[in-house]
Structure 1
Amino acid sequence: MFTLENKTAIVTGGGSGIGRAISILFAKQGSAVHILDFDSNGANKVVEEIKASGGNATAHQCDVSNQQQVTDIIKAIAEISGSIQLLINNAGVAHVGTVETTSEDDFNRLFNINVKGVYNCLQGAIPFMKATGGAIVNMASIASSVGIPDRFAYSMTKGAVVGITLSVAKDFLNDGIRCNCISPARVHTPFVDGFISKNYPGKETEMFEKLSKTQPIGRMAKPDEIAHLVLYLCSDEASFITGCDYPIDGGFINLNN
């Protein structure tokens, strides 16, 4: 079950955190994985890890907000692989601030990576995916469904991702392309550790505990737990699922009273 044999997958932001977990799992399940990441060192390390376990992976240094760069890389992947069946739009950045404290530069930066980056990858990959059909999973967030303090720009971009998902799912039904998104709550990644260190110096342990307990289940998710949901949605076992947003949140949306 959940095999990805003979499928080519593109994973953006696959050099760390959730993207790393997805890339490793997809390769384990038989997919040829192409990691697009701004951090070439991180992407190359994940590729080495995958190859050491007998998997098939390639790293591509890429700024997902640069349309020409994305288009060229995806075209090259399609030419080498013959087809593209899976696209995981995972790359993204966060920001702390209300509408009053979010600068125009920060607003544009989040839009360009979190929204335009998804658009660029979809526009680049879908023409090739139409040949065989396939599955797309976009990374949204619980911030697209509930109000979270000081996350104005981030919430805006993740709400857009949900809207993009529904539109793409509708437009390409007849091409055999399924499109879903998932909405994680907090996930324990190196990004989270860096975020806490930067914004709460000297209070790292206290803030980690506080952020963990905002999930009713009492902890943050592990990257592998997110990756397994993405695997399911990309597998043939999920062939009847499209146009859905899946919270994976330890009860955050429905159990926080």
Structure 2
Amino acid sequence: MRNVHATRADALPGAIVATANELSTNHRVPPHRHRRSQLLYAATGIMVVGTEAGRWIVPPERGVWIPAGMQHEVNALAHVSTRNIYIEAGVDDALPTDCRVIGISSLMRQLLLETADLPLPVEKGSRADLIFLLLVQEVTRAPVLPLDIPFPADARLAARCRAYLEHPSPHETIDDWCRDLALSRRTFTRKFRAETGLSFAMWRRQASIFAALPRLAAGDPITTIAFDLGYESASAFATMFKRVIGVSPSRYLANQ
């Protein structure tokens, strides 16, 4: 079904349902949750999905898996054409239980595009039913992509991470964070890695990409963004950007 608001998806009938939506640039879907797990696919455009546990970048032709009951919000950094698959618990025990960005195979992409106009409710054994069941199998096999920026469980440390994402500064050091949180460098380093799975340096690199995306979408020069985020050159920033997003900043801008 097309143009079904996210908050109305739970009312649709069936163990597996599909919707398609267009999100305009800078559109924000406020925090909400679903009774089913959700695969949110960006056929075009780029999104940032946020939860209490972290942030996930969803580039074009990638998808984000959101477990049932997890509160989340969606921000479209450029016009996004979405496909959504909602799957009830018990359909397949192999489905993920954590939020993650996944790679979308060519087969999966075509199946997702096909779902927009499938009838609801779905009859067992019908063509629509077979498409949905194959999609479920593809989700269980999809590769996980490192496009997340996790938040620590510690409330003070998580608040510090959120504040940094809002106003990233290349001048802040690990010693600044240790002083603000009244932690020794050794304790901070151990705690940060244990609760995020990343070193502080790796986390900051991921955070810089998150900070760059809205500015790129707004048309800021790549060189200015690179220097503002503390990179020594535009090429160094472009290398990191391509490693995370999969394309260079200039190619990303051309695609948008």
TM-score where L is the length of structure 1: 0.27
Instruction: Using CA pairs under 8 Å that are at least 6 residues apart, name the structure with larger relative contact order, 1 or 2.
Output: 1
TM-score (norm 2): 0.27
